């Protein structure tokens, strides 16, 4: 099984990069399943149903993170039967939507997907490690061996810890949220593919996808300013993981970076 995960999709430029590149990547690498993190798709913070539906024309499933709830309208969308938009699994149990799923891939395999959110420098949510224990055990009980985890958090140490904690029990733990693609992709000793952060889909001539001027103003004044999406030098970033269907162990992980033509 070959799986593509693209990082935080930022606004209209990020959505354009997904539309342009994912179908071509799917064909070029014979991808079986494509996932993207959608928490920034609507104006840089939050998700709308229309934006999610647009992405799902190119991607098979969406994960999210701490900005999931920025647009109140998403609550009903998350609760729709068969929704292909996840939210972090370690939110309180009465939160709309779900944080994990098992899907059938076009090749006839089964893939478990778990969306987690970290707690370091973020909200005091339920323990993502114990949440992962419970969900992974449940998937193994169903005979699911190929399992992907989006570890959405701020601290690189927390992402690394989750990778090693789940090593040998899941196929991949790929980090999101910080929008900067790291160069530490590897297959851990137990057979789990890992990278601290897969990066973002959006404008590089920016500060993590936002207008440079707005971001700099925040740092200089320590006062709020608008989250305006930047434009120019739009890129798609992510990672492709090749997984052995029988064992669920990763064979390889490769970083992806594509630049949208001007």
The domain that holds 53 is classified in CATH as 3.60.21.10
Q: Which residues are catalytic?
A: 67
Residues 77-88: tens digit of each pLDDT:
999 988 899 999
Angstrom CA distances, 202 to 54, 69, 114, stand at 16, 21, 24
- Residue 163, CB half-sphere, CA atoms under 13 Å: how many? 27
Residue 141 lies in a domain: yes
Residue 95 lies in a domain: yes
Residue 226 has pLDDT above 80, yes or no: no
Residue 59 has pLDDT above 80, yes or no: yes
Cβ atoms within 10 Å, residue 131: 20
Tell me the C-alpha distance between 132 and 153, whole Å: 14
Residue 31 lies in a domain: yes
Residues 96-116: tens digit of each pLDDT:
999 999 999 988 899 999 999
Question: Residue 255: its pLDDT value, please?
Answer: 98
Which parts of 7-146 fold into alpha helices (H)?
A: 11-28, 49-55, 74-78, 128-141
Total count of residues recorded for the chain = 262
Question: Residue 200: its pLDDT value, please?
Answer: 96
Tell me the C-alpha distance between 39 and 27, whole Å: 26
- What's the domain range around 109? 2-257
| Model confidence band, residue 198 (pLDDT cutoffs 50, 70, 90) | very high
Angstrom CA distances, 93 to 61, 96, 99, 131, stand at 21, 8, 10, 11
Which parts of the chain fold into alpha helices (H)?
A: 11-28, 49-55, 74-78, 128-141, 156-166, 212-221
Residue 140 lies in a domain: yes
Residue 181 lies in a domain: yes
Here the tokens at position 112 are: 């478990």
Residue showing tokens 């778990």: 114
Residues paired with 167 in a beta bridge: 170
Number of domains in the chain: 1
Residue 153 lies in a domain: yes
Cβ atoms within 10 Å, residue 30: 8
Write down the pTM of the prediction.
Answer: 0.95
Residue 192 lies in a domain: yes
Q: What is the mean pLDDT of the chain?
A: 95
Residue 88 lies in a domain: yes
């Amino acid at each position: 099984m070959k799986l593509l995960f693209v990082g935080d999709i930022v606004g209209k430029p990020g959505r354009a990069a997904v539309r342009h590149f994912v179908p071509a990547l799917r064909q070029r690498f014979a991808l079986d399943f494509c996932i993207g993190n959608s928490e920034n798709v609507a104006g840089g913070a939050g998700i709308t149903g229309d934006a999610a539906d647009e992405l799902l024309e190119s991607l098979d499933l969406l994960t999210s993170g701490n900005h999931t709830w920025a647009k109140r309208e998403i609550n009903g969308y998350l609760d729709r039967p068969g929704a292909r938009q996840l939210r972090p699994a370690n939110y309180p149990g009465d939160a709309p939507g779900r944080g994990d799923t098992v899907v059938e891939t076009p090749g006839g395999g089964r893939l478990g997907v778990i969306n987690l959110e970290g707690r370091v420098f973020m909200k005091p949510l339920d323990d993502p490690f114990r949440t992962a224990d419970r969900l992974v055990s449940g998937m193994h009980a169903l005979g699911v061996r190929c399992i992907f985890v989006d570890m959405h958090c701020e601290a690189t140490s927390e992402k690394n810890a989750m990778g090693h904690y789940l090593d040998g029990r899941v196929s991949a733990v790929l980090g999101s949220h910080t929008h900067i693609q790291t160069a530490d992709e590897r297959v851990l000793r137990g057979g789990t593919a890992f990278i601290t952060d897969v990066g973002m889909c959006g404008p590089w001539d920016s500060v993590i996808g936002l207008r440079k001027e707005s971001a700099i103003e925040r740092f200089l004044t320590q006062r709020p300013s608008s989250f305006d999406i930047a434009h120019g030098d739009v890129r798609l970033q992510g990672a492709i993981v090749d997984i052995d269907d029988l064992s669920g162990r990763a064979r390889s992980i490769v970083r992806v970076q594509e630049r949208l033509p001007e």
